[in-house]
Structure 1
C-alpha cells in the first residue's frame, strides 16, 4: 500500500481516534475544525480501533469530498436537507428517550411547577428568537453546536460557514425539533403516550442524489483520492511523488485499455484481461511516445517489438493493487481483485526465478573504458541541446569513482566539496547547510548522509579547480535544474542514456547512471577493499562505521583504500 494510516491514541484517556490533517484546499472552508479532522472511535481496545478505523476514514473522506463539491458549486445543501437532518436526529432522540423511560433531559426543572417545556421556559413562539441575543445560554448553545456537527458528520457533510443560507436553515431546523422534542417529553413524563412527534416524510439528502448521479467511484476518482492521501502521508517528499507518478502511469494505461470503470466493476477477470493486454505492450521501439496503449500494441505486433518483462508487468499490477487496496479500506469495494486473482503471486515467483539468472547490473572495465574514451570525453562531440554544462563531464566521473546515486551528486552544492583538516578532499553528500535552512533535499536511508573521499584521478583531471571557480553558495552543477518533482538529475539521466546508446554506441544491459554504482562496488570487492569501508562510502550502512572509526579517521582509510582501485581515467586515456 501507498500508506498505512493508524488510529491515534489519546495519551490522557487511552481512547482511540481518527486524526488526520485537513487538506489545504478545503481548510479555509472548515474554519472551526482546526488543523485536524478528529473523531473518537469509541474504544480503548487497539484491535477494535483498527476495525473501526477504516469506516471512520471513509467517513472523513466523504466529508472532504462533499466540502469540495460545495466549494466547486457542484452541490449546495438545501433547506430540505436541513429539515431532513434535524428530523433524523429528533427521531433517534425520541427512540432513545422511550427505550430508557427518561424524558427529563428535554425539560426544565422548576421549583414552582416541577418541570416545564423549553417553549414555556423561554416564553417563545418563534424558534428563531432562541438563536439571537438573549436566547440560549452558553452551555445550551454549545450543546446545540455539537449536536449539529455530529449529525453533519454522520452524513459526511462539513459544518457550513456562518452567515450562509444552509447554516441558517440548519440551526433553525434543529431548534424547531428541540422544542418539539421538549413538548413530547413533557407529555410522556406525565403519562401521555398517545401524542405523536410530527416529522416530515423521510427522504434522501440532495448530496446523496448528487453522488448517485455522478461517477464518483470510477478508477480515476479513486486514484485521485489515493494520491491525495499518499502525498499527505509522505509530507511532500520527492520519492512519494515518484511513486504517485509511477502509479498514475499504470492507471492511465488501464483507462486507455479498458476504460475508466467504476471500481465495483473491476473484477478478477478484469485484472486477467488487463494482464494479458500488458503482456502485449512493447518495452521499447521508435515512434511509440505519441501512441496510446492500443496503438502501441498494434505497432508492436506489426514490427515484432520486444514486450514488457514479467517484472515490469508485476510492478504495474502492484501499483494498481495499492490503489484498489485503498478502495477496499474506503469500502468502495469488498475485495482487492488484483490480490484475489493471484496473478501478482505467480509473477513474483517468476521474478524470483529470473533473479537467479539476473542480467548484469554493473559496467565491465571494458565498458567503463569505452564510456570515458567516447566522443564527448575526446572533445569530438558537443551536446546538440540541453547541454547541462560541466555536468556532462563531471557527473559520470563522480558516479564512477564514488558509487554515489545520481541524485546525490546532481543536487550537491559547491560548498559541499570540502577539504578536511588533514588535507583530504571529500564530498559531504546530502549535507545540511550551516544555517540549518531546509533546501528540500531528501535522504534515501539513514546512511545516505556521509563523507566520501575524492579519488586522486578526479583531482588530477581538474575537479577541484572547477569547484573553486563556482560561487560557494550555488549548486555544484548550476545548469542542472530540478524537474517539477524536484529531481536535479532526472533530465540529465535521460540525455545521458541516449548519448551512450546513440553516440558512444554502447550495447549493454546496464542502467546508464545506476550502473556506475554497481561497478564501483564490484571494483572495490575485486581490489580487496573491506566491505564495511565501501558500504560506508556508498551509504549502505546505518552510520555505524563512521561511529566506529570516527569521521576523520574514516577519511584517511578511504583515501588509502581508493588507491587500490584501477585508474579508469588513465585506462581510457583521460590522464596521460
Structure 2
C-alpha cells in the first residue's frame, strides 16, 4: 500500500492510486480521494480506509465488465434522489429556478416611454410533451455528468454503456430531472413546496449497508449502558 500523498500547496493529504487499464473507462486514469486532513497521523488512518474503498470500487468495476450489475434498481433511485435533494437545496438557496426550466412564449410591449419585456417558462416535462428534445436529442448525455458525480460521491464506478446498471441509472436520473423541473416551475410561480417531496427517503446503498451496520455495532459497543453506570456507581 502506498503512502498518503501530501498536496504541496494546500497541505491536505490524498489517496492516489493508478487505475488498471481495463477499468479506466469506468474509473478514469487515477483513483484520487481527499483524506480531508493535514495531520499526518490522521492521514494514515484515513488512507487505510480509503484504500479499502478503492478496492471496492475496482471490484465493482470488474464485476460490471463481467456483466454483473453493480447497481440495483433501489440504488439507482437512491442515487438519483440524493442528487435531486442536493440540486433542490441549491436552487432554493439561490432562487435560480429558471436553470431547470425551458423558455415559453415571451415578448415585449411599450409602456409609457419605456419598453418592457416579458418571458414565461415551462417545465422540461411540458417541453418534451410539446415535441422539444434535450440537447442533441440525447437524454443519456444530458444526465451523464450528474450520474458520474453521484457515483463518485458514493465510491462507485461509472457502469459500462448499455449495461443494466447504466440503463437503470439513466432512467432514474431522467425521472428525477423531470421532477426537479416540475418543482422549479412551481417555485418560480411563487408556490411554497416542501423540499424533498415525492422522492425516496435517504437510505444506505447496498454497498454502504455493511459499513452502516459496522458503525452501528461499534457505536453500541462504545456507548456505556445504564447498568454499567450503576455498576460503576456501586
TM-score > 0.5, shorter chain as reference: yes
Q: Answer yes or no: is 1:81 the counterpart of 2:75.
A: yes
Partners of 2:67 and 2:163 within 8 A in 1: no
Q: Distance in 1 between matches of 2:174 and 2:127?
A: 14
Cross-structure match for 2:193 = 194
**2:97–2:187: 8 Å Cα contact kept in structure 1?**
yes
Q: Which residue of 2 aligns with 1:95?
A: 89
Aligned length, in residue pairs = 199
1:186-227 Cα deviation digits (max 9, x unpaired): 1111110136731134433223346779x9xxxxxxxxxxxx
Deviation at 1:91, TM superposition (A): 1.6
Render the CA deviation track for 1:510-546: whole Å, top value 9, x for unaligned. Answer: xxxxxxxxxxxxxxxxxxxxxxxxxxxxxxxxxxxxx
Report the 3-state secondary structure (helix = DSSP H, G, I; strand = E; otherwise coil) of the residue aligned with 2:159.
coil
Q: Normalised by the size of structure 2, how large is the TM-score?
A: 0.64
After superposition, residues 28-67 of structure 1 pair within 5 angstroms as 28-38=22-32, 41=34, 47=38, 54=47, 59-67=53-61
Runs (4+) off by over 4 Å: 7-10, 14-18, 48-53, 55-59, 68-75, 138-143, 209-213
Name the residue aligned to 2:122. Answer: 116
In structure 2, the partner of 1:147 is: 146
- The structural deviation recorded for 1:147 is 1.2
What does residue 203 of structure 2 align with? 203
Q: Cα deviations across residues 145-184 of structure 1 (Å, max 9, x unaligned)?
A: 2211111122221111111111001011101101110111
Instruction: Provide the alpha-carbon RMSD of the alignment.
Output: 4.3
- State how far apart, in whole Å, the 2-side matches of 1:3 and 1:42 are: 14
TM-score of the aligned structures, taking structure 1 as reference length: 0.29
What's the offset of the Cα at 1:51? 5.4
Q: Distance in 1 between matches of 2:63 and 2:211?
A: 10
**Inter-partner Cα distance in structure 1 for 2:100 and 2:136:** 15
Question: What corresponds to 1:182 in structure 2?
Answer: 181
Q: Tell me the alpha carbon deviations over residues 375-432 of structure 1, each in whole angstroms, 9 at most, x when there is no partner.
A: xxxxxxxxxxxxxxxxxxxxxxxxxxxxxxxxxxxxxxxxxxxxxxxxxxxxxxxxxx
Q: Which moved more, 1:113-122 or 1:166-175?
A: 113-122
> CA shift at 1:17, angstroms?
6.5
Structure 1 residues 163 and 194, CA gap change in structure 2 (3 angstroms): closer
Secondary structure in structure 2 of the residue aligned to 1:20: strand
Q: Is 2:123–2:182's contact at 8 Å kept on the other side of the alignment? A: yes
Give the aligned partner of residue 382 of structure 1.
none
Larger radius of gyration, structure 1 or 2?
Answer: 1
What SS does the aligned partner of 1:206 have? coil
Q: How far apart are the structure 2 equivalents of 1:209 and 1:107? A: 36
Taking a change above 3 Å as real, the CA distance of residues 206 and 32 of structure 1, as seen in their structure-2 partners, is: closer
Deviation at 1:20, TM superposition (A): 2.0
Partners of 2:39 and 2:138 lie apart in 1 by 33
**Alignment gaps of 5+ in structure 2:** 107-118, 219-234
Q: SS of 1:200's equivalent?
A: coil
Task: Report the CA distance between 1:47 and its aligned residue.
Answer: 3.5
In the alignment, the residues of structure 2 paired with residue 9 and residue 141 of structure 1 have an alpha-carbon distance, to the nearest angstrom, of 38
